[in-house]
Amino acid sequence: MGYTLIKHPLIDHKMTILRKKETSSMEFRQVANEIATLMGYEVTRDLETEEIEIETPICKTTGRVISGKKVGIVPILRAGLGMVEGLLTIIPAARVGHIGMYRDPETHKPVTYYSKLPKDVSSRLMLVVDPMLATGGSLIEAIDELKRNGAKNIKSINLLAAPEGVKAVQEAHPDVEIYLAALDERLNDDKYIVPGLGDAGDRLFGTK
Ligand code: URA
């Protein structure tokens, strides 16, 4: 598998709002969720459907409904929380697990401090969400954690990525498709994405 850069004028426009340093936390939260909704449309494109018989007020007919695998959404805490509502807008029946990770400021390595997942991850399409795919360290760990719990069908949804992070995740988990709203130039020495949008968690929640 590889990565899919979702190209759409609305996504480009909304990503520019997120990047601007003067965008408030309130607007950042709203727009991050809107982009997640738009991405969710593309990410769920290959969900299986089946035909069922229904009756309209006029006559009997058939319609298609989602069948087979159901969906699980797993935000990587805390910034991943900023995309959950947007995904639930179009996949309201999804179960939501949480994986808590932070980046050690000195080693830049991910540290897991919380993991709570739905029981039936093995029969769900699991969507890992984190706005920023930087080094790929936390995403690789989160996918490891999902696989340890039996997940077999995993996709990653990230607003923004650095090429280094995409490569690292592809090497560690070649079976996981990565969906991006934008692919940036590189990481800087502090492992921030350039040009990026800063610290997604701080911008979402108004912290420093
Ligand atoms: N995490 C962020 O929030 N921003 C970056 O640029 C990289 C990682």
What is the pLDDT, as a whole number, of residue 175? 97
Distance from C-alpha of 182 to C-alpha of 103, rounded to nearest angstrom: 22
Please confirm, yes or no, whether 103 is among the known catalytic residues: yes
Secondary element (H or E) of residue 156: strand 153-161
Catalytic residue, from 56, 61, 62, 107: name it.
107
Secondary element (H or E) of residue 202: helix 200-205
CATH architecture for segment(s) 3-205: 3-Layer(aba) Sandwich (3.40)
Sign of the CA dihedral with 111 first, then 117, 120, and 126 last = negative
Q: ipTM for the complex?
A: 0.96
**Predicted confidence band at 7 (pLDDT cuts at 50, 70, 90)?**
very high
CA neighbor of 169 nearest in space, from 45, 1, 50, 9? 1
The rounded Å distance from CA 119 to ligand 1 centre is: 30
What average pLDDT does range 23-42 have in this prediction?
98
Is residue 24 pLDDT above 80, yes or no? yes
The rounded Å distance from CA 10 to ligand 1 centre is: 22
- Ordered by start, the domain boundaries in the chain are 3-205
Does 195 sit behind a cis peptide bond, omega within 30 degrees of 0 on the bond before it? yes
What is the pLDDT, as a whole number, of residue 208? 85
Catalytic residue, from 44, 95, 103, 112: name it.
103
The tokens of 5 are what? 């850069």
What average pLDDT does range 154-160 have in this prediction?
98
The tokens of 131 are what? 């706005």
